[in-house]
Amino acid sequence: MIKFVATKLYAAWCSQLGLAQVEPHTILNVNVENIVVYYEHVSDASTFGTNPNVEVAAVSRNFQTSVLIGDIVSVNGQPTKGVTVHTFRTINLRTAPTTGQAIADLMRANSQSLTFEFLRGDDSTPIGTTWPDTSRG
């Protein structure tokens, strides 16, 4: 009887070792300034991003690419340096598309790739980089 109880206790103890460990979530409130969006709207790719003047983009209905660049100035209220770069591809997925839209089982406006690179605010020591990938509706 003692051997059976010991076996049950050991089994119960071992089962706890197999449970998944979930890290607590951390919310980062990132403040960004000096945001500039570059649209790929020129027929000559060698001129992309070279004009110092603000241009009015001929925004397409679908498949247009744009790049957003901004300066990170704080994270959770603490002075921080860094840069964020977002690459967008307009895709206009629709369940009942009109001309110029793509058909899909769900609705989405674009696909994005995001990068956030963080530096200490006082001495510019690298803190880290994150690359959350996402789609937006």
DSSP code for 47: G
Instruction: Return the pLDDT at 46.
Output: 75
Has residue 19 got a pLDDT over 70? no
For 86-106, write each residue's pLDDT tens digit. 998 888 889 999 888 888 999
Instruction: Return the pLDDT at 125.
Output: 93
pTM of the predicted structure, to 2 decimals:
0.69
Instruction: Return the pLDDT at 135.
Output: 54
DSSP code for 46: G
Has residue 6 got a pLDDT over 70? no
For 55-75, write each residue's pLDDT tens digit. 666 667 778 888 899 999 999
Which of these, 32, 64, 66, lies nearest to 49 by C-alpha position?
Answer: 66
Which of these, 47, 49, 124, 54, lies nearest to 83 by C-alpha position?
Answer: 124
Q: How confident is the model at residue 43 (pLDDT cuts 50, 70, 90)?
A: low
